Structure formats: structure tokens, C-alpha cells
Amino acid sequence: MLAIARWTMAHRRFVVVAWLVAAVGVFALSSSVGKKTASSFTLPGTGSQRAVDLLKSRFPTQAGDADQVVFHTRTGTVTDASARATIDSTLARIARLQHVTAVVSPYAAGQHAISKDGTIAFATVSFDQRANALPKAAVDRVITTAESARSTSLQVELGGQAIEQAQQASLGFATVVGILAAIAILLVSFGSFSAMGLPIATALLGLGAGVGVITLASHLIDMPDFASELALMIGLGVGIDYALFIVTRYRQSYKANGGDVRAAVEAAMNTSGRAVLFAGVTVVIALLGMFALGVSVLNGAAVAASIGVVLVLAASLSLLPALLATFRIITLWDLLGVRLGQDPARTIRLFEGLRPSQARVVVLMGDLRRFSPGQAVVRQGERGDEMYVIIQGVAEVWLSANGDRRQIANLKRGDVFGEMGFVSGNERTADVVAETDLEVLAVDEHFMQRIQRRYPRIASKVLLNLSRILSSRLQEANLRFLAALAS
């Protein structure tokens, strides 16, 4: 998993573009060829199966699917001369189309295909093959011919197995409701559009490619008309779940390692990624286990659902690491969890000119460290390349020289120390120890790079404040040096 995570992060733009192109391309291709849904399934040994087999062998022209064309007059009745002439002409043209074996007119003797009020009538169109074996182009010609009779006074609608499979089905109301519910729950849970969007985007891209592959696979294996909906429901659930599992572990690792995105992604993929892979393979094996039931209607459904799970699993393991390496996740709850006290722009020089929300972003992009009373923040003589800004609490500064150790200063909220380490990586000249519970923000070169890359406007203000802090500290050091010379 580490190798996959590292490769996708190193080629994150290629991975994202490849997934977008693949999903759109497969979906477009599947839409052009259409989906075949099987309406004939075998149940060996049953009476209904014997009847179907007898019909195919003795009356092959009647063994195909039969669909309906419904006519509704908005004015008058279907028996009026003008309406009847239009309907008869349309049915005659349909009867001459390929793969149409018969058209039963609603006006034929013995037919009860006209409503009592005379405004609705239906005709039956019989095909020479079952819906799953009919060419999509042949069914499209029937639909086009029937719909050509539509006018302001005549409404024409079609229905039946062949018609349904020729007309591309939408996601469906239930699927849309599921997606909206997932968005709402993730927004409440994370309080961030980016944290919500990554699991949703991963699942939807995986499902988009999955639906296209399922449509293409329906030409190779018989699938029921509910196969795509089943795959969507299962794929949406496991896709969001897998992505959410990885994102949650990523956020925990990111906080624990001090804001290293690469290390956090690797840790998430090496732990949660392995669990997701195991869970996905288990789900696929369980779905394919439906083959053991011997009911052919379930075989296609099992394959469709398995394809959906495999594609969202692939998206979670390849696309998601690339997205995590691209987008920085800061949630509302993260922002609310940062306590900066009142008016941080006036009490902390690093935050001058920043709104409270921007100051919280700066803290989250950096490395906020907490120390208990008596715990050392830095020690005299050690080398470091970080500067520290006190956010909350009080610290003591102790100097050791010639075997003597004495306190030389107290530091409070907004004070800065360790700036020379940030400038040139010098040795620390004194111990800084927490007197109370202490929070300090560590500022180094990596911090500045992160904030510059993610939030350039905020970074420009922070950089200006940082230069002012360093300038004033250097001036103070020069004054002390001159005073020492004068004395």
C-alpha cells in the first residue's frame, strides 16, 4: 500500500485527470451502445420455464417481447377521423420496421384497448426477440416513429421491457436522496466542504466508471433491470465508507505528526488502506457467492454489484491519496477547537492584520505544541531551526553560565523566542521552561512553504509580520550589544 500511496502522490495530477477521463469516457461509450437488460431467466424444473421453452420451440414469432404504444387525445376522442388516421398511419409505419413481427391496433376486432371515455387507446408491438437480444437501434426506430405522431392534440407514450432498456435510465430518486443525505451527514460531522467533498467525489467517480462498465458488461452477461440500481446503492455506501475511513485516519495522522501531508497519507494508506482493501475483497466474494444459488436472475445482479464495489475500491486506493496530497483539509471543528483568546491580531504580533478565522488557519497550518508546567520547550546549547510564538500561558527563561543557573526573564502571550534558530540554525542560548500550561506555535521554513502554497493571501501578511518581528528583535539585540560595549 505504501508503494501505491507514494506513486499516486508523486503523480497526483495524472491520477486525477486519468480518473476523470476514464469515468467520462466509459460513461459516454456505454450511453452510445445502450444497456441490455434480460427479461428471460431460467428457473429449471418449474412449470413457467417449461411454458417458455414450449413457446420458443412451437411459436417462435410469439416468443419475443411485446411492448405498448399509448395514445391520448387532449381534445375529442381516439375514434375521431383525424386522430384515427394519425394513429393508423403511425402503427402501419411501425409494422414495417425491422425486428417488428406484429402490431395489434386498438381498433382491431375483439380488442378492448380503448378507454370508456374514448380518450386513451393502446397498441401492442411484438418483436422477434426478447428485449435483451434486440439491437438498441431497432428499438430506437420504434420509439422515434411512434413519437413522430405527437402533436398539441395527441400525446404518445411508450412502455415495455425493450423500450425501458433503450431509454437511458437516470440515477433515480432514491440514489439522489442517498447522495444528499451523505453530503448533509458528512458536513455536520466534519464541518468542511473539502472534508465532505473528498469521500463524495471519490465514490461518485468510482460509481460513474462503474455504471459505464456495468452497461458494457450487460452485453456479455444477462443482467436484470435492477442491476444498476443495486450496484449504485451498494457502491455508494461502501465507496463513501471506505473513503471516509481513510480520510479520518489521515486527519488523525496529520495532527499527530505536526502537519506532514505526505507522511499522513502514507500512514493512512498503510493502515486504513489495507483494511479497506480487505473489506472490499470480502464484499466482492460475498456478492459473487450468489452464483451458488443457481438462480440466473441473481447472477447478473451479483456481477453488476461486484463491478461497482471494485471500481469504488480502486478509486479509494488510488484517487483518494492523490486528492489528499492536493487539498488541505481544515474543518469547522478544527477552527473552533483553536483557542486564541480575545483579539489575537492585537495581542500576538504574528497575527497582526488577520481576522480571527485567518489566525486559526495559521495555527492549524503550523505546529501547535502544548507543554505542562516545568516542561522544557528548548534547552540551552541544543541546535534548532524553529522560532516559537507563545499563544497561551507563561514561560520562564533560565541562563546557565559558570556553574550558575538563574532566571533572566518571563515570557507571556504574544512573545517570541528562538528567532535566531529560525534565521541561521544557531544554538539555543538559554532554557525556556513552561511556568503554566503553555501553548506555542513553532514556525519554520516548512510552515512558511505550506501556508504560502495553500493560502497565499494569508501568507503574505504572516511573512510581513514575521519580517517585522525579526527586524525588531535584531534591533533589540544590537542595542543590548552596544549597551554592553558602553559599560
Judge if 184 and 96 occupy the same domain.
Answer: no
Tell me if 24 is assigned to some domain: yes
SS3 201: helix
Type of residue numbered 119: T
Judge if 217 and 321 occupy the same domain.
Answer: yes
Q: What is the pLDDT of residue 226?
A: 77
* pLDDT averaged over 10-residue windows placed end to end, the chain, 487 residues: 85 88 86 68 60 62 77 91 92 91 88 90 87 79 92 91 70 70 76 74 86 85 79 85 86 72 86 91 91 79 90 90 77 59 81 84 78 89 84 90 85 85 74 91 80 82 85 75 70
Report how far residue 240's alpha carbon sits from residue 201's, in angstroms, rounded to the nearest whole number: 9
Q: Answer with the one of 297, 328, 359 that is the final residue of a domain.
A: 328
Judge if 194 and 219 occupy the same domain.
Answer: yes
Report how far residue 195's alpha carbon sits from residue 207's, in angstroms, rounded to the nearest whole number: 19
Judge if 371 and 418 occupy the same domain.
Answer: yes
Report how far residue 7's alpha carbon sits from residue 15's, in angstroms, rounded to the nearest whole number: 9
86: domain CATH number is 3.30.70.1320
Judge if 71 and 133 occupy the same domain.
Answer: yes
Tell me if 47 is assigned to some domain: no
SS3 155: strand
pTM of this structure: 0.57
Range of the domain at 205: 2-35+170-328
Cα 370 from chain centre: 35
Tell me if 157 is assigned to some domain: yes
The C-alpha cell of 150 is what?
Answer: 405527437
Contacts 24+ apart (CB under 8 A), 301-305: 301/223, 301/224, 301/226, 301/227, 301/230, 303/217, 303/221, 303/223, 303/227, 304/214, 304/217, 304/218, 304/223, 304/227, 304/228, 304/230, 304/231, 305/227, 305/230, 305/231, 305/234, 305/235
Judge if 162 and 174 occupy the same domain.
Answer: no
DSSP per-residue string spanning 320-345? HHHHHHHS----HHHHHH----S-HH
379: domain CATH number is 2.60.120.10
Judge if 476 and 463 occupy the same domain.
Answer: yes
Q: What is the pLDDT of residue 369?
A: 83
Q: Answer with the one of 143, 166, 189 that is the final residue of a domain.
A: 166
271: domain CATH number is 1.20.1640.10
Q: Answer with the one of 301, 328, 355 that is the final residue of a domain.
A: 328
Judge if 301 and 200 occupy the same domain.
Answer: yes
**What are phi and psi for residue 417, nearest 5 degrees?**
-145, 160
Tell me if 49 is assigned to some domain: no
Tell me if 44 is assigned to some domain: no
Judge if 311 and 203 occupy the same domain.
Answer: yes
Judge if 324 and 346 occupy the same domain.
Answer: no
Judge if 385 and 451 occupy the same domain.
Answer: yes
How many separate domains does the chain show?
Answer: 3
Neighbours of 476 (CB within 10 A): 10
Judge if 266 and 220 occupy the same domain.
Answer: yes
The C-alpha cell of 8 is what?
Answer: 499516486
